């Protein structure tokens, strides 16, 4: 939300759409880098989040489930 406020302030004061778009690009790229999974400092083996069939067979995220011994 802060990126929207900062972007709109720049847009209203200077009327420059380029600055507005660059602020949004910086915000999206920085949040993408910050939300890597698993965390860089985590150790061990990790598996991807699991999905299960939901309404009408559409997949939905069911979170991380421990691997089951078969």
Phi first, then psi, for residue 32 (nearest 5°) are -65, -45
- Residue 2 pLDDT: 77
Using one digit for the tens of pLDDT, what is the confidence trace for 5-35?
Answer: 877 888 888 888 888 888 889 888 888 877 7
Of 50 and 58, the structure prediction assigns the larger pLDDT to 58
Q: Quote the CA–CA distance of 67 and 54 in Å, as a whole number.
A: 21
Q: Which of 49, 55, 62, 3 shows the shortest CA–CA distance to 28?
A: 3
Lowest mean pLDDT segment, chosen from 27-36, 37-46, 55-64? 37-46
């Amino acid at each position: 939300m802060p990126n929207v406020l900062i972007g709109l302030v720049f847009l209203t004061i200077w009327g420059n759409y380029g600055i507005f778009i660059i602020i949004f690009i910086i915000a999206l790229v920085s949040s993408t880098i910050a939300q890597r999974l698993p965390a860089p400092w985590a150790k061990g083996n990790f598996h991807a989040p699991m999905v299960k069939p939901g309404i009408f067979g559409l997949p939905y995220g069911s979170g991380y489930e421990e691997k089951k011994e078969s």
